[in-house]
Chains A and B, each alone.
Chain A
Amino acid sequence: MLKELEELQRQAEAELSSAKTEGEFLAVRTRYLGRKGLLTRLLRNIGNVEEEKRPLFGMRCNEIKEAISGKIDTALAKLASLRREEVLLRDKVDVTLPGRTHRYGRVHPITRVRQEICSIFAGLGFSVVEGPEVELDYYNFEALNIPKDHPARDMQDTFYIEDNIVLRTHTSPVQIRVMEKQRPPVRILSPGRVYRPDSDISHTPMFHQIEGLLVDKGITFADLKGVLTSFLKQLFGEDTALRFRPSFFPFTEPSAEVDIRCVMCSGSGCRVCGQSGWLEILGSGMVDPEVFKNVAYDPEEVTGFAFGLGLERIAMLKFGISDIRLFFENDRRFLEQF
């Protein structure tokens, strides 16, 4: 009988391993474990087994029953899961199709650069002020120590509205407007549009500048170097090499042009930096005593420095743009790169 039992198990397992469909598995179950199944029948005939072998026989019967039953359950579960997947796969999407969303818009690269610069200077205690874009000759030139017919006027061609009204050629007039209204100390930053009649690959008749001004007791040229060094390292990276070299602006003295190591060639010389290895980034200087006198500040009492930079230039360097006119053509294919 025991032998018969082992034979039955071998037989059942052979059938299970060849079964594929749910029906076949269920048939195996009925054949062996059903009410009239082979194993059930054997178990029912336990009385025919010798008395002392009965417990062992019963135990084996149950073991075999559980083994077969377990295998069938597992196989059926696997089949069911396969069938479900098959059903779900009938509802398949093409994942390579583009996603459905409202595309987000872009901030203009000039705005991006402006925001970055303003936030750097906010950390240094500078607050943002704005001034008119159409400006009196007085604020744009005269109060900045650029009298009529002064050679320095050659430095900037100007759009005129009337004899004494111009489109501001720089953001520097905001310095004067602020100092006229506010007693020192002053720490301001003034971004905005400026205008000069020039148009080619490196000039547009409208562009953007940021002006900065710091006036207080005991401000020195060394402070100018410190603040601008800190700013440029934050903007272009801690390793950026820079140099301050003498220059001329009518409203600052001493004046300094600030260069950074060319970001394109790292100083070995290329087309962008005119082979010099350096890029002119901003103009700066100690506020000229003449300017202080124009706003009734006492130059013996306070000193200060001012600086100005062109946003397009910074954006061109940061993003590798070679034609300034692109900023104002507003081609969607350009805008969407930022």
Chain B
Amino acid sequence: MLVSWKWLKDFVDIRLTPEELVDRLTMAGLEVESLQENVPSFTGVVVSKILSVRPHPGADKCFICEVTTGDAKYPVVCSAGNIRPGNVVPLAKVGATIPGGYTIRTSKIKGEVSEGMLCSEEELGIGSDASGVMILSEHLSPGADLASALDLKDVVLDIGITPNRADCLSIAGIAREIAAITGSPFSYPRISLPERGEDIHGITSVDILDPDLCPRYSARVIKNVTIAPSPLWLRRRLEAVGMRAINNVVDITNYVMMELGQPLHAFDHRFLEEGRIVVRRSRAEEKFTSLDEKERVLRPDTIMICDGVKPVAIGGVMGGLNSEVKEDTETILLESAYFDPSSIRKSAKWLGMNTDAAFRFGRGVDPEGVIRALDRAAQLMAEIAGGTVCKGHIDQYPKKVETAGRIPLRIERVNDILGTRIGEAEITETLKRIGMLIEKEQEGHYRVTPPTYRVDITREIDLIEEVARLHGYDCIPVTIPPVSVKPVIRDSREVAKDRIREILRGSGYSEVITYSFISPSAVDCLLLRADDARRNLVKIENPLTEDQAVMRTTLIYSLLETMKKNANVGCTDLKVFEIGRVFFQRREGELPCEKEQLGCLLTGMRSDHLWSSKTYADFFDLKGCVENIFDSLKISEIRFMHDYRETFLHPGKSCGIFIGDQPVGYAGEVHPDVLVKMDLKNRAYVLEIDLELLLRNFKDVTLYRELPRFPMVLRDVAFVVDEGLHAAGVIDLAMSAGKELLENVSVFDIYSGKSVPHGRKSLGLRFTYRASDRTLTDDEVNVLHNKIVKSVVEKTGAKIRGEEH
């Protein structure tokens, strides 16, 4: 909320610099977000008096004026027709600067010398009136600096008001707070109201049909107003706090709202049928055209302000087009009311009309401040718009607005919560400073009644907060609570996830974080089958964009998008991973199923150095990374199964990843059709693993195994087998034939082409033999090795390379 320093000073004497005040307010919970000095954007402009005006002999619409600044006289050529001898006007002297970067110089206009310029409000940037030269008060003395004569300098604070502090949504509210912080006295403006002529009760009446929505409604009638622009000081104050000036009557209602926090509404009385006000709740499907000329359908239970026949305003939100103040308005019916905050909030939200009035009613205005605001506005209408305030006011108050009272307060509790030793006297004095009524019940026990504008204070803890805030958070000690005896055991899932990050980092993968929401078309991009569970998307009702309209059910799409974004900036080599959740829709009203997944993507060159090897990464680079992860998590029962199919993976270069018989994820090359759909050019390899399932098998235990004491014996053999035969199958066969002396079988070569028959491949295997209790002899190994090789040959139809013929 914008707050004018000058305006504040109407209520409280501030003996601080603006910077000091900013600090004090901020440390008391009214955060000052910015401080701006409003200084006029002109220099060298002074007050002058017109001595004479005569027509310009050479130019039709121009005049030659003689003006005085007291000690000197100047001839000035001017084209405005609103000036008369005797007028006091602003003179921009030679050398003056005015907004827009203009500097005034002596000039000759059609033969006549002009030494300066008489300015309009608009030309000086202090108002919007551009109709003629600005006519100043006759009391200003010629020669005086205009900026100081008009008191144009001000400081404007922008204060962030937290939702609980409805009482601070006004200049008076802030001033009250400043008074409490600084100890200066606070006082409301004195209202003197000359009531004349007719009694209001003869002119109008107010009936509240639904007091639950409108507990209080007060009104005054002001006759004979003249609608005109507001005086400069009023307009400038409104503009300082960010409001646009409209006309004097409307400006006064806004002015009083900003000043006292009570929204008001002015009706043109002649448009009120039967001349009276009825307050009721809206009828089903009721329609209404508000001031902004939009027809609106109202929610049930909207507060409607009506005349004898029809609605004329949406209570507390916005006035109606049918009763607004017009240029020829003469009689005003002024409304000052208290509306149910919750009802206002609902209506404002429903209508999408978060007006200044609705905002304040919604947060809760002071139910006892209604009449003060009504009288203040009536006074200003008399003073500024020339109105006659009719005798008396109407104050319908059928339902007392309950505010909290007699809240119990224990001194001990204050210090227990804050960790302080604030004395009883300081606590009670502090509360009194902010208008609280204190009754002592017994030693250390009090009853506290907050002022009616402090709608946020209803409980003991609210009082404790007030004490803490005004005592100063800075003055509260700093202590460390004893650490519990129970040691912190790091969640094994966290440990495992950090270990995965570490392994992947070491393997060259960088972590990415992508949005959890994706485009609903993602599932089509990935060619998911109609019955794929990943089509059970959780939809967002109010997404920011269609691209972010559903929660993802796989990380792959996000990773492919990351690849695309990088390709667009020339990074075609990419190794990335993400740890994030996926979401599956369950029944309506139930929370979705959330699963944490690991996803990796690999594309481009295997390594960064172009000058050395220029090979592209492939499936096995990715697989190696999976193996590393499993290895580091001590999960040994990992299996890669080819007959597991993902629609978005290359059918020949993909596999399911299993722990025992449990599928935990997949890895493979992205299907070329998916690349096309996503407009990607390079091959990419992806994997996705369900972390819940993976971590269930994670063993955070390391057991040392004795190093072998006897040497190993190696035997290499190349089998020529069918191309379709899996290496793992051959190895399994060999291992089962080898018993305990065969320690390991590994692949050392894969070859197909020249010297290997078509449709076959050469599979080079290295056998490692070792006994745990002796050194094996060559003969012993030869016998066993030949037996194993024979067994493999028999079971697979393999030939031994070099012995095919």
**Interface with B: A16-24, A64-72, A157-165, which one?**
A157-165
Interchain CA distance A198-B183 in the complex, whole Å: 41
Assuming A220-B416, A221-B468, is B461 touching A253 (CB within 8 A)? Answer: yes
Q: Are A106 and B510 in contact (CB under 8 A)?
A: yes
Give the docked Cα–Cα distance between A226 and B580 (Å): 34
Interface size class, chain A: 35 or more
Closest Cβ of chain B to A180, distance in Å, is: 15
Chain B 552-582: CB-based contact to A (< 8 A → 1; otherwise 0): 0000000000100110010100111100110
A170 to B32, CA, bound (A): 25
Q: Which residue of B lies closest to A225 (CB)?
A: B478
A246 touches B29 (CB 8 A): yes
**Other-chain residue from B476, B498, B583, B608 in contact with A221 (beta carbon distance below 8 A):** B476
A221 contacts B591, C-beta separation under 8 Å: no
For the complex, is B538 an interface residue (Cβ under 8 Å from A)? yes
- Tally of contact residues, B, Cβ under 8 A: 92
Closest to B548 in A: A205
B interface footprint on A89-130 (CB within 8 Å = 1, 0 otherwise): 000000001111111111110110001001000101111110
Interface residues of A in 237-253 (CB under 8 A from B): 243-248, 253
Question: Are the CB atoms of A125 and B483 closer together than 8 Å?
Answer: yes
* Segment with Cβ contacts to A, from B192-200, B417-425, B712-720: B417-425
CB distance from B159 to the nearest CB of A (A): 13
| CB atoms of B488 and A122 under 8 A apart | yes
Binary CB contact string for chain A from 271 to 293 against chain B (1 if under 8 A, 0 otherwise): 00011000000000010110000
CB distance from A36 to the nearest CB of B (A): 59
Within 8 A of B (CB), among A192-213: 193, 195, 197, 199, 205-206
Measured between beta carbons, the chain B residues less than 8 angstroms from A185 are: 484
User: Of A218, A289, A330, which one neighbours B512 at CB under 8 angstroms?
Assistant: A330
Chain B residues contacting A179 (CB-CB under 8 Å) are none
Q: Give Cα distance in the complex from A25 to B727, angstroms.
A: 66
Interface string of B498-538 (1 = CB under 8 A from A): 10010011111111111111000000000000000000001
* A248 CB to nearest chain B CB (Å): 3
B473: CB under 8 A from chain A?
Answer: yes
User: With an 8 A cutoff between CB atoms, is B683 at the interface?
Assistant: no
Stretch of A45-53, A75-83, A146-154 lying at the B interface: A146-154
Contact with B along A209-241 (1 / 0, CB 8 A): 000001010111111011101100000000000
In the complex with contacts A223-B481, A256-B473, A328-B513, A245-B566 CB distance below 8 A: no
Does B705 lie at the interface of the complex (its beta carbon under 8 Å from any beta carbon of A)?
Answer: no
Task: Give the complex CA separation of A159 and B548 in angstroms.
Answer: 11
Distance in Å from the Cβ of A281 to the closest Cβ of chain B? Answer: 14
Across the interface, B591 reaches (CB within 8 A) one of A108, A136, A220, namely A136
- Pair A205/B515 contact, Cβ less than 8 Å: yes
| Distance between Cα atoms of A246 and B538 in the complex (Å) | 39
Given A133-B594, A161-B539, A229-B478, A220:B544 Cβ within 8 A? no
Contact, CB under 8 Å: B474 / A243? yes
Nearest chain B residue, comparing its CB with the CB of A164 = B589
| Complex contact A154–B459 (CB within 8 A) | no
A254 lies within 8 A of B468 (CB): yes
Stretch at the interface among B47-55, B160-168, B638-646, B735-743: B160-168
Instruction: Using A227-B481, A248-B29, A329-B565 as known contacts, say yes or no to A222 and B544 having CB atoms under 8 A apart.
Output: no
Contacts of B27 in A (CB 8 A): 243, 245-246
> Which of A100, A152, A327 contacts B513, CB < 8 Å?
A327
Q: Complex: how many Å from CA A56 to CA B505? A: 79
Asked if B707 CB lies within 8 Å of chain A CBs, one says no
User: Is B722 interfacial (CB 8 A cutoff)?
Assistant: no
B: residues with CB less than 8 A from A are: 26-29, 31, 33-34, 162-165, 342, 345-346, 349, 362-363, 416-420, 459, 461-462, 464-465, 468-469, 473-474, 476-481, 483-484, 486, 488-491, 494, 498, 501, 504-517, 538-544, 548, 551, 562, 565-566, 569, 571, 574-577, 580-581, 583, 588-589, 591-592, 594, 607-609, 611-612
List 27 A-B pairs, Cβ < 8 Å. Answer: A102-B507, A102-B607, A105-B505, A106-B510, A128-B494, A133-B581, A136-B591, A149-B349, A152-B164, A160-B542, A197-B543, A197-B544, A199-B544, A205-B544, A214-B481, A220-B416, A222-B419, A222-B478, A227-B480, A230-B480, A247-B162, A253-B464, A289-B459, A303-B416, A328-B515, A330-B565, A330-B576
A-to-B contact residues, CB < 8 Å: 97-108, 110-111, 115, 118, 122, 124-129, 132-136, 149-152, 154-155, 159-162, 164-165, 167, 185, 187, 193, 195, 197, 199, 205-206, 214, 216, 218-223, 225-227, 229-230, 243-248, 253-257, 274-275, 286, 288-289, 303, 327-333, 335-336
Identify 8 new A-B residue pairs, CB closer than 8 A, beyond the known A122-B490, A246-B29: A104-B508, A105-B511, A108-B512, A134-B592, A154-B163, A227-B480, A254-B465, A288-B461
Cβ-closest 5 pairs across A and B: A222-B419, A220-B419, A246-B29, A248-B162, A254-B465
